[in-house]
Amino acid sequence: MNDGIDVKSMHDRGRTPSQWKYVLCIAPMAVFLIVTFFWPVARFLFKSVDNSDLVSNLPRTVIALADWKHTDGIPGEDVFAALVQDLADAHANGKDGIVAQKINQRVVGTRYLVIKTARIAAKGGFAKEALRENVLKRFSKWGNIELWSAIANDLKPLTEFYLLMSVDLQKNPDGHYESVPEEQAIFLQVFGRTVWISIVVTLICIVLALPVAHAIVAARPNVARVLITLILFPLWTSLLVRTIIWMILLQGNGPINSTLQLLGVINKPLNLIYTRFSLYVAMIQVLLPMMIFSIVAVMRRIPVNLMKAALSLGSPWLWAWWRVQLPLIMPGIFTGSAIVFVFALGYYITPALIGGPREQMISSFIAFYTNKTLNWGLASSLSIQLLFLLVLVWLIMLMSRFVFLKRTEK
Amino acid sequence: MKLARVLLTMVFVVCFSAQFFPAAAGEQVTVVGWGGNWNKAYEKGVWKPYMKQTGVKIIQEEWMGEVAKIRAQVQAGNIIYDMVSVEAPGAEIGCAEGLFVKLPRSVTGDPDKYHPETIHECGVASDTWADVMVYNADFIKGKIPKSWADFWDVKKFPGKRQLYGQAQFTFENALLADGVPVSEVYKVLRSPGGVDRVFKVLDRIRPHVIWWNQTTQAMQNLASGEVVMSDGFNARITHEIEAEKKNYVILWEAGYFYGTDLWVVVNGAPNMKVALDLLTWFSEPKNQAGFSNNFAYGTGRVEAINYVSETKRAQLPTAPQNIKYGAPYDIEYWVENKEALEKRFKTWLSK
């Protein structure tokens, strides 16, 4: 025990100066990454649970609704007084729009109810006596018990609303979790689809990349250079050009269909574009190079003699490849798969242009909520789910790698 | 010694680059439009005359309409944009959040002199576009379609159709096809069962539809005959007809909806005063017409059309001969319902 510590500390002492150098080398990059990446990402992800826009702008309502339950019926005078006062303040501070937005996300069709109520409240337009009746007479929608329970259910500083929504769940008035109505249940399906598409793309990339990588490694340097340039072409072409080319190639009267018809292989144009097939083709075209290069990098380091030895000992080629070559290539396949899979998860412009409606992936929804409706709570929740999926897949890969390496060690 | 030299260089660099800082230059303003021909039309028809008249330098930039960018700029207190053209729903949301400046009447002029939905608390129309029905006359011969009902009639007009893959536009077009007059569409949508009716109408045409997401894609499909009819943004279709000599026909009389993008001034904009002055100048009908004379989109002021050339006028959604068939998109309806309806629409599409 003692020995160990001594050795370690001696070891450390010996390395201290150079370690500081390393730290200094990394420091600018680390600071840069923290400031420009990790910190903003963390802040954005926090928005998935942040409820301060609602809670801090409705302080009196929060207190007044603390003991209210939906079984009590429409809240009483005190709650209405608190709400009117809060909305008047919110209007004065220019916060009524945000409050209205947040309430509308929970109960659709209430945005202008809140904004109009706030406007009138700010002008003192509601008579002090019989305030509740007064408000209800002007805006009968405040008599909606679902609206009240949606507000009352969600007046804590941290909300679970967006995270639930991102997995097609909601809280019912009793506080139990339930599925959202069938017509609104889409995210789980899209997550499943996104992962499935990414897995298939990764697997096809592996299958296609292996022979190409073999060819590149076996070829003379000049030929290999040409091959690599050819593989890089798709990456150098702009996304839109690449997409339009696929549209022209795959459409009903495009070259592929007309050639097949001319040859008499088919008598009616095949449905090629706006299908899962066309999406796979377009994605693989771009992602395949990453797989190929990952495998080539590993393959170049494998001594040629190993295969030769296996073959000369009488093993059939395929068997030798399976037992000798493949295990050595495996690290390259793992790296390539990780890159391809992660890239594939984030695709959304290509699916929008080449895929059909059943091919849309989760990032298109994240972009929609981030940019179009400014619902950053939901956008951030969907991002968290995506991140969660990523970590899950990463763990699975790590484990399979571990299991695999252990097996080959035996 | 070395350190001193480094410091000296740094001082030099800072002093030198300070010359490029906006504050040191003359009066200028950064306006952000939709890029491409849209920006060119604004530059030629609007910004150049203003710059000549006032000596202010207008810096043009382009974006894709991500209001998130402006929200991020405002929240970080690092505002780069002065004046931005924002889609109307984005302008409404951003305005309510305080991202944009509320415009006084001294800037916008009398709201009654604008087309409906082309003026807002926080903005005036930068362009008034329309989503119109169009067919390719190379592929439809003899009997020609005349209405959205014909668009839905796959027996009379065989072949694939194309619709925009989102709820807004498609809902309105579906109700037009079901015989609802343009002026009644939002009444139906707001009534109980209105949205269900839309989905029933959409169910009828679904197997024959290709859904488009970008204009380039829509135009490519229309050109190649992949689809025989489509909806699309009118200026892009006009561009294809004029520049690419395509045989497309726009059916204004089938009924259409027009929407607006609005010029807004970002709250805390570095050149707020200039931006407001520019907007005041732009609110004059004559100055607005400079855009429509170079691009097939209208603007907000009704009178602006009087300053647009005769040939250009027929291409505008705001022209008297067209606007009798059209109605504006209801911004309030879509701001309230967009998330829920787009989600329901996408769920329906995924089935």
B66 touching A (Cβ < 8 Å): yes
**A175 pLDDT tier (thresholds 50, 70, 90):** confident
Do B95 and A105 lie within an 8 Å CB cutoff? no
pLDDT of residue B193: 96
Handedness of CA B267, B270, B273, B277 (dihedral sign): negative
Please state, in angstroms and rounded to a whole number, the distance separating the CA atoms of residues A204 and A189: 22
Contacts of A369 in chain B (CB under 8 A): 339
Do A112 and B336 lie within an 8 Å CB cutoff? yes
**A401 pLDDT tier (thresholds 50, 70, 90):** confident
Q: Are strands B28-33 and B57-62 parallel, antiparallel or unpaired?
A: parallel
Please state, in angstroms and rounded to a whole number, the distance separating the CA atoms of residues B236 and B253: 18
Name the closest residue on chain B to residue A274, using Cα atoms.
B210
Contacts of A98 in chain B (CB under 8 A): 96-97
Domain coordinates in residue numbering, chain A? 1-46, 52-160, 187-409
Chain A: closest CA distance from residue B200 (Å): 14
Chosen for mutation from B101, B138, B213 (greatest number of chain A CBs closer than 10 Å) is B213
pLDDT of residue A2: 45
Average pLDDT over residues B18-41: 78
B75 touching A (Cβ < 8 Å): no
User: Which pLDDT tens digit goes with each residue over B180-219?
Assistant: 999 999 999 999 999 999 999 999 999 999 999 999 999 9
Name the closest residue on chain A to residue B223, using Cα atoms.
A248
B217 touching A (Cβ < 8 Å): yes
Please state, in angstroms and rounded to a whole number, the distance separating the CA atoms of residues B282 and B47: 9
Chain A: closest CA distance from residue B218 (Å): 10
ipTM over 0.85: yes
Above 50 in pLDDT, residue B1?
A: no
Mean pLDDT, rounded, of chain B = 93
Do B214 and A352 lie within an 8 Å CB cutoff? yes
| Token couple for B48 | 């150049």
Nearest Cα residue to B258 out of B240, B231, B294, B282: B231
CATH 1.10.3720.10 fits domain A187-409: yes
| Better-scored residue on pLDDT, A177 or B3 | A177
Name the closest residue on chain B to residue A240, using Cα atoms.
B216
| Token couple for B280 | 């005041």
| Better-scored residue on pLDDT, A235 or B186 | B186
Domains and CATH numbers, chain B: 2-128+259-328 (3.40.190.10), 131-257+341-350 (3.40.190.10)
User: Which pLDDT tens digit goes with each residue over A366-379?
Assistant: 999 999 999 999 99
Do B97 and A100 lie within an 8 Å CB cutoff? no
Residues 6+ apart with CB under 8 A from A194: A345, A361, A362, A363, A386, A389
DSSP, residue by residue, A157-192: SB--HHHHHTTTEEE-TTS-EEEPPGGG--HHHHHH
Name the closest residue on chain A to residue B196, using Cα atoms.
A183
Residues 6+ apart with CB under 8 A from B13: none
Do B93 and A373 lie within an 8 Å CB cutoff? yes
> What is the SS3 assignment for B210?
strand
Chosen for mutation from A361, A373, A375, A380 (greatest number of chain B CBs closer than 10 Å) is A373
**B24 pLDDT tier (thresholds 50, 70, 90):** very low
Average pLDDT over residues A88-94: 94
pLDDT of residue B332: 95
Do A357 and B226 lie within an 8 Å CB cutoff? no
Chosen for mutation from A369, A372, A375, A380 (greatest number of chain B CBs closer than 10 Å) is A372
Option in B96, B211, B339 nearest A100 (CB): B96
In chain B, alpha helices (H): 2-18, 36-42, 48-54, 67-76, 88-97, 105-108, 148-152, 167-177, 185-190, 194-205, 215-224, 234-243, 272-282, 285-292, 310-313, 320-323, 331-350
- A66: how many CB neighbours lie within 10 A of its CB? 9
Above 50 in pLDDT, residue B20?
A: no
Contacts of A350 in chain B (CB under 8 A): none
Do A251 and B221 lie within an 8 Å CB cutoff? yes
User: How is residue B104 annotated by DSSP?
Assistant: P
Please state, in angstroms and rounded to a whole number, the distance separating the CA atoms of residues B240 and B236: 6
Handedness of CA A224, A227, A231, A234 (dihedral sign): positive
Do A357 and B165 lie within an 8 Å CB cutoff? yes
Contacts of B335 in chain A (CB under 8 A): 111
pLDDT of residue A296: 96
| Better-scored residue on pLDDT, A109 or A407 | A109
DSSP H/E element including A159: none
Chain A: closest CA distance from residue B168 (Å): 13
Do A376 and B335 lie within an 8 Å CB cutoff? no
B347 touching A (Cβ < 8 Å): yes
